[in-house]
Amino acid sequence: MLFFSWPETLLMLIAALLIDWVIGDPKRIPHPVVWIGKWIALWEGKLLPRPAKRLNGVLLVLFVTGSAFALTWAAVSLAAWIHPWLGYVLQTWLISTTIAVKGLKDAAMLVYKPLSRGDMEEARKYTGYIVGRDTDGLDAPELSRAAVETVAENAVDAFVSPLFFALLGAAPLAMLYRAANTLDSMVGYRNDKYLRFGWASARLDDVLNWIPARLTGLLLGAASVFLPSASPRRAWKSIRTFARLHPSPNSGIPEAAVAGGLGIQLGGVNRYGGVVSERARLGWPLRPLEQADILRAIRLLYGVSYLAMGGLLCGVLGWLWQAGWKP
């Protein structure tokens, strides 16, 4: 059957997080998000050229998220019908593909490593893989800022949100979230091409991330205890002070938390296709931003995942205690 018990769901989430910590996303195994991206591109090609852009954008959201949920539900149901353990295994693996703590760390390290040896061209190349801004000519502090902002913002998209929805609805709901997030990353832009067509994708992503983003802010502040130089109190104060200045209703929360916790300032001047964009400055510049802040942001990300793992384990122990188990 598809709907597992609460303890079974907790155990599958624990296993999924362990898989991500240790293995991440194997390069040789087809990834569901890649399939989702191809499905989006297919429907975009059919719907974007048509009139009624906003309505077609709504249809795109319904097709893609509905397909992601239904296909995941069907696959897990079939696996569980064949054998319950096959259902557990498939559901656990699918949930692990929606989480990307290790993948986010690896992407940030591709920027950090060339920076640490002074290879600016390679650092700019890999920074261009994770941000949309122009990277030509960026110096080491700006490249570090881009990487730190990416880790901070994606702590929501790559970890807390998929885990949150997996808790609510296991793999099908986690995959629906991943589909919505992929839609936003592909068509949710405020430009001439996607302003109306991508409106529904961007708004759905905002709605789905609303609660997880705020949970992430709390967890990032708490995770600051893992860094001797970071401050939980300053992280939470930074959220209250600066998060509302960010154009996104959600992204400003984790970015402000990381900036405040580390005592640095994020935001500032970015360039997109040569066009200057001024982003709100988040946090207090108590010290200059440096490349080591990439490592500190990664440690905060992992701190959030450790806290989440602790919460999942406490949930399992609570169930065992209620069931009569005594150590």
Residue 1 lies in a domain: no
3-class DSSP state of 222: helix
pLDDT of residue 322: 82
Residue 139 identity:
D
**pLDDT 10s digits, 171-219:** 999 999 999 999 999 998 887 888 888 899 999 999 999 999 999 999 9
**Res 2 pLDDT > 60:** no
Print burial letters for 23-39: b (CB count within 10 Å at least 16), e (below 16): ebbeeeeeebbeebbeb
pLDDT of residue 326: 61
Average pLDDT over residues 13-36: 88
pLDDT of residue 4: 67
pLDDT of residue 319: 83
Residue 172 lies in a domain: yes
Higher local confidence (pLDDT), 254 or 33: 254
Residue 28 lies in a domain: yes
Residue 327 lies in a domain: no
DSSP string for residues in 67-116: HHHHHHHHHHHHHHHH-HHHHHHHHHHHHHHH--HHHHHHHHHHHHHHHH
Q: Which residues contact 152 (CB under 8 A, 6 or more apart)?
A: 220, 254, 255, 257, 258, 259, 266, 297, 300
Residue 122 lies in a domain: yes
Residue-number span of the structural domain to which 287 is assigned: 6-322
- pLDDT band at residue 3 using 50, 70 and 90 as cut-offs: low
Residue 109 lies in a domain: yes
Residue 216 lies in a domain: yes
Q: How many domains does the chain have?
A: 1
Q: Are 165 and 207 in contact (CB under 8 A)?
A: no
- pLDDT band at residue 323 using 50, 70 and 90 as cut-offs: confident
pLDDT of residue 15: 97
Residue 280 lies in a domain: yes
**Res 1 pLDDT > 50:** no
- pLDDT band at residue 31 using 50, 70 and 90 as cut-offs: confident
